[in-house]
A and B are shown apart, each in its own frame.
Chain A
């Protein structure tokens, strides 16, 4: 028993960007970690030579004008950017943190460009945030009264019956009402009270509402800013604040009102996810995802950051559903890994997609003893995802399907048969099941499986040829004379399907090469970078392909962002008339690169003999 058994290692392994670190690196890293703890509301003074990682708790960052800059939670890093070191960091909750010498950290990962890229991106993102902070704060600097929805605090008398209050709340579609006496605030009733005080205690609904109201609730003055309301809510664990002016109730501000104003902030969204207790809460947050896409695009975020943010929200919703399920069902009887597949695993989502997920169970799993637990767990989570807009997988690749809820040894045999006899069905699965990421539970179950699988894909050239053949299925929409081959979609006669004919060919290409070289990372750009590092692809070839991928995806994001802004559902069919002539030229270049790389792949893997 040694250092590699420590929980710290598991934690680091599942923290970005260390998911790409090898075990030797992790061990060296662990040896340099210092663990510290700060009490809630105390400040944390960052030392410039250290990186900080939040292990548990939350840290609030404010700029020199005491304006809220960001809230960081578990697994988030501090101290990488010189600018931010000067900001004030205070603990929003009791916080356990890890402190790592910067010099050692970056020396240890000097070979891994992805680790550096992670912090460069994070640094850039924070400098973008700094530029946008005036814009953001103008929203949050507005008074709470101006932000509350239609100033609609419903005022009721303490003698009103519980039933009447419930009817009022449901007809007006509000989550709280204010109880007043002689125009003075005397209490608040939230929808939660109906659950905890009425339903659970079996209270008579004809009793007066004063029986269930919270007496002398916390309130806020009308001129206070949104930031102050947000902090007050966070500190007192409440979600509703009556707004007072001259001691009279003039409105109500809710966490949801603030959320709407902050919907473009991914940190804020994820923090909201983490405190959600029901599927309904998560659904509300999930509805903000299209807005997040639009705002991220409009604030000139990098394509990689946008898809990463959107995917992170999806991932945390999924994780929170699992936490909720475990809360309801109790701790799992045997270890399991919740694994997502496809674009969610690759962190390449730009919108809600259908869900692809599976469960890897420890070999201690016994259907008779544990089957019911996992059936309930997976149904809770998959139904919840569906509610949140990540609709059921049409091909039923979901953990609710007993076929995809199996012990490690069964998964091993699945992979073996797919690799050894790559029939059409197996190849269809491979585009899903070879892009995996464990996002919850015992990730070592997936770790146990993958090295062996990758070793087999690396050695089996027949499998590789079949994969390559399959990857030729979608080709860029470029004709012989460099004109676009357009599709009809709806009323638009000339559209380009930038997903199937732009993004998918590159994703498939990267997968074929990554599997045949036994590379474990799944993000398309990461795959291409690693292939470049091991010289499986030429430097110019792979960086051209990354640029082409980013460009095509950005045109697609721009299109969707425009659709969202005009209130339409987003899709992947971009009318050519929407694309500027300069962008059309770039797009043709990008497609050209993809075509060339595809033909190189065909000859390399000899797909013509199949």
Chain B
């Protein structure tokens, strides 16, 4: 039901959320700003590029252990706005997690709580369009956290997915998508972007941001591209 309302009457839905109790100030501030209009030219938009590292794929069982982000403004990545947060999952990591992310229990014990991290995220997301590579993870984990912390089932959020952009492009130009070809690593290579060794959420957010800039540049004149064209 909420989902339908949010889809057909986004402004009304967003206002209705503001009436909820237990909203934090940062979340309130976020909700007070209407979402960026789909007909806005992308060079006028500020983007928040996001990458989460999680202990697994299921948001109701697994935890977010780190968030990395960076900002794109005037279609340039602003390195100064990059950031990284470790989140204490209050549960020990399995060996598999450690080998993928190279984050250990000790690292994460220094991390912040989930609530603090979400507050930080709302501040960064305010008045910005979010970019992720494969929105399945970030979108679902954000929603799950909002439900847990603020009893909001569906947070209004404008998300662009660099994987989807490429998927649509490949289907249009070659009519099929080869398995594996949509991975961040393979796509970066295709756009002549450098190969990075490090693997952490902030570096991956930067990698995604660079990929986005490349995709946009390959679409032609950035003056004429609107947010709608990327969704």
Contacts and interface: CB of A to CB of B under 8 A. Distances in A.
B54 interface: no
B82 A3 contact: yes
A410 interface: no
Contact of B203 (A7, A34, A39): A7
A39 B218 contact: yes
Contacts of B75: 36
A35 B202 contact: no
Contact of A1 (B84, B193, B217): B84
A8 B79 contact: yes
A95 B213 CA distance: 11
A534 B183 CA distance: 51
Interface stretch (A25-33, A59-67, A214-222, A246-254): A25-33
Nearest to B207: A7
Interface in B201-231: 202-203, 206, 209-210, 213-214, 217-218
Interface string A94-118: 1110010000000000000000000
B198 A30 contact: no
A3 to B, nearest CB: 7
**Interface residues of chain A: helix, strand, loop or mixed (majority):** mixed
A94 B80 contact: no
> Which of A2, A8, A35, A99 has most chain B Cβ within 10 Å?
A35
Interface in A147-188: none
A94 B190 CA distance: 10
Contacts of B84: 1-2
Interface residues of A, number: 27
A8 B78 CA distance: 12
A1 B202 contact: yes
Interface string A2-13: 110111100100
Contacts of B193: 37, 56, 94, 96
Interface in B72-95: 75-80, 82, 84, 86
Contact of A34 (B77, B191, B198): B77
B194 interface: yes
A574 to B, nearest CB: 46
Contacts of A387: none
Contacts of B209: 35
A489 B229 CA distance: 76
Interface in A1-58: 1-3, 5-8, 11, 30-39, 42, 55-57
A96 B216 CA distance: 13
Contacts of A35: 76-77, 79, 206, 209-210, 213
A33 B79 contact: yes
A7 B214 CA distance: 18
Bin the interface of chain B by size. Answer: 20 to 34
A7 B197 contact: yes
Contact of A7 (B80, B107, B196): B196
Contact of A5 (B77, B200, B213, B218): B200
Contacts of B107: 1
A5 B86 CA distance: 14
Given A1-B86, A32-B80, A57-B192, A6 B206 contact: yes
A42 B194 contact: no
Contacts of A32: 79-80
A46 to B, nearest CB: 14
Nearest to A35: B77
A179 B203 CA distance: 51
A558 interface: no
A93 interface: yes
B100 to A, nearest CB: 15
Contacts of B191: 37, 94
Contacts of A57: 192
Contacts of A7: 194, 196-198, 203, 206
Contacts of B80: 30-33
Contacts of A99: 76
Interface in A424-442: none
Interface string A63-77: 000000000000000
Contact of B192 (A8, A42, A56): A56
A1 B80 CA distance: 15
A13 to B, nearest CB: 14
Contacts of A2: 84
Given A37-B213, A37-B214, A55 B79 contact: no
A5 B202 CA distance: 10
A6 B194 CA distance: 13
Nearest to B198: A7
Contact of B210 (A3, A93, A96): A96
A332 B32 CA distance: 52
B79 A31 contact: yes
Interface in B118-164: none
Contact of B198 (A5, A33, A42, A56): A5
Residue among A3, A6, A33, A55 with max Cβ neighbours from chain B (10 Å):
A6
B210 A37 contact: yes
A56 B196 CA distance: 12
A96 B194 contact: yes
A96 B210 CA distance: 8
B212 to A, nearest CB: 9
A161 B213 CA distance: 50
A106 B196 CA distance: 28
Interface string B88-125: 00000000000000000001000000000000000000
A132 B210 CA distance: 38
Interface of A: 1-3, 5-8, 11, 30-39, 42, 55-57, 93-96, 99
The 4 closest A-B pairs by CB, nearest first: A35-B77, A94-B192, A34-B76, A31-B80
Given A7-B194, A39-B218, 18 more contacts: A6-B79, A6-B198, A7-B196, A7-B197, A7-B206, A8-B79, A30-B80, A33-B80, A34-B78, A35-B77, A37-B214, A37-B217, A39-B217, A56-B194, A94-B192, A96-B192, A96-B210, A99-B76
28 contacts: A1-B84, A1-B202, A3-B79, A5-B202, A6-B82, A6-B198, A6-B203, A7-B196, A7-B198, A7-B206, A32-B79, A34-B76, A34-B78, A34-B79, A35-B76, A35-B77, A35-B209, A36-B75, A36-B77, A37-B213, A37-B217, A42-B217, A55-B194, A56-B193, A56-B194, A93-B192, A96-B193, A96-B214
